Amino acid sequence: MPTFQFEAMDATGAEIKDVIEATTEEEAQATIRQMGYFVTKISVKKSRKKEETGTAAKKKRGFVFGGVSSKELTSFTRQLSILQDAGLPILRSLRILATQAKPGRLKYSLEDTCDEIEAGATLSEAMSKSPKCFNRLYVNMIKAGEAGGALELILQRLADFQERAESLKRKVRGAMMYPVFVVGIAVLILTFIMIKIVPEFRKIFTEFDLELPYMTELLVWMSDMTMQFWFLIPLIPTSIWLFVMLVRKFKAGRMGWDQYIIKVPIFGQLFEKNTLARTARTLGTLVASGVPILEALNITRDTAGNAVFERMYTRISEAIREGESIAKPMKENSTPGFHPVALFFWVTSLPVIGALIYLLKYKQRIVDDIVVNMVDVGEETGELDTMLYKVADVYDEEVAVLTDSLTKLMEPLLILILGGMVGFIVIALFIPLVKLIEGLSG
């Protein structure tokens, strides 16, 4: 039984400091009040042996960077759900998983969580002490499960949510990685041709004093520029990435970039639908788990990952505080609106028609009428979580279809572009070679 160290005042206002044994903190406070004291401070008193043991264990830990990967946390949640279904006590389940885990952030966080539970904390309180492992969404769902006595169900729901989110993330990442990988390899090959192959042909043409056609002169000029400024090939994309990261450090810059990225051609729809599916499933999971709607909206906003959606959920939360429902403010605040930073990115990426495209797109809503109607029906029937799940399922399917379509579209498109580049190089080199052979034959 844990020991609680407390400070209190008696009826005369004198300060009392003492310790008391109790099962929980609430029981300890109730006992102290029965003694006629008013509690001002209470905390768990750890024994010297446990403190020494904990200190020794922490000394053996290696230094850990960052947090826990979503894949690792998803696997842990599913395993914990299975152990709870089997009827094992939560502390024993956590000890088993901590023993099996590889040394790292998750293992150390589980060990700390077990120590906190042994000291009298609840599971949600213990997990909240490790924010780099268990985020706000995770802790609040566990807290709701404890309050409703349905921790097993909440863990199953949380594991399902994480597995779906991880699956969707893999699909989107796969669709993005394929063109990046192909373009990267193509740039390396073309750079090699420009630096090593073209100069050798230029020597041959110079020795025979050939008059080069325009295409060959252009290719030779490109080769010269590549040899002189080869360092710009990695420097330009790195500089663009650093510039975007710097702009996103500011609130206005982040809003402008996020508005641009969800409306960018080809991949914009993928980002927008992915974010909508993920936030709808997050909100539905929290509502179904019993988390209060305002807290659920705040958590959904914090995990959205896009400033446009964050602003929408913030305004929905403010409208609910004033007595409105979700559907109406969702419809009213789903238009991104005009933003000068977004216009800057459009003009920079598409110099000729970027401004025109942006002026046509900035009033397009990020939430369709069908989503608003489903949310409205869910509120009227008391099945908001079910409707949000349906919205998430629909958009998950759309993201999967769009991902497959983009992958199939990118393959012939990349082949066409790369074929055009190689064809240009071959034609530019072989036209003077044919003239040279004809001249030698004559």
The answer to whether residue 434 sits within a structural domain is: no
The answer to whether residue 37 sits within a structural domain is: yes
- Domain of 12, in residue numbers: 3-45
Q: What is the pLDDT of residue 442?
A: 59
281 shares a domain with 254: yes
Domain end (from 29, 45, 61): 45
246 shares a domain with 390: yes
Q: What is the pLDDT of residue 13?
A: 67
349 shares a domain with 405: yes
Structure tokens belonging to residue 375: 């949310």
415 shares a domain with 311: yes
Q: What is the pLDDT of residue 48?
A: 47
312 shares a domain with 245: yes
Domain end (from 163, 193, 218): 163
Mean pLDDT by groups of 10 residues along the chain of 442 residues: 73 74 76 77 61 49 69 87 84 88 85 86 86 83 76 82 80 76 86 88 81 86 88 89 91 92 84 88 85 86 88 92 89 89 90 86 88 91 90 87 81 86 88 79 66
Cβ–Cβ under 8 Å, residues 137 and 286 = yes
What pLDDT digit, counting tens, does each position of 79-124 carry?
A: 888 888 888 888 888 888 888 888 888 888 888 888 888 888 888 8
Q: Note if the pTM is more than 0.75.
A: no
225 shares a domain with 107: no
Structure tokens belonging to residue 313: 């959920």
The answer to whether residue 428 sits within a structural domain is: no
The answer to whether residue 431 sits within a structural domain is: no
Order across the sheet with 15-21: list the strands: 15-21, 3-9, 38-45
Cβ–Cβ under 8 Å, residues 146 and 122 = yes
The answer to whether residue 56 sits within a structural domain is: no
The answer to whether residue 51 sits within a structural domain is: no
| Residue 249 to residue 267: CA distance in whole angstroms | 23
| Residue 434 to residue 428: CA distance in whole angstroms | 11
Report strand pairing: 3-9 vs 38-45. antiparallel
The answer to whether residue 25 sits within a structural domain is: yes
159 shares a domain with 249: no
Q: Residue 81 sits in a domain of what CATH number?
A: 1.20.81.30
220 shares a domain with 108: no
Report strand pairing: 38-45 vs 15-21. unpaired
Q: What residues contact residue 88 under an 8 Å CB cut-off, 6+ apart?
A: 96
3-state secondary structure of 341: helix
| Residue 140 to residue 293: CA distance in whole angstroms | 12
365 shares a domain with 281: yes
Total domains, the chain: 3
| Residue 136 to residue 299: CA distance in whole angstroms | 7
User: Which one-letter DSSP state was computed for residue 14?
Assistant: -
213 shares a domain with 150: no
Domain end (from 111, 145, 163): 163
Q: Which of 96, 99, 103, 100 is nearest to 68 (CA)?
A: 103
272 shares a domain with 415: yes
Q: Which of 58, 57, 93 is nearest to 76 (CA)?
A: 93
- Left if phi > 0, otherwise alpha if psi is -120 to 50, otherwise beta: which for 233? alpha
286 shares a domain with 233: yes
The answer to whether residue 221 sits within a structural domain is: yes
Q: What is the pLDDT of residue 51?
A: 47
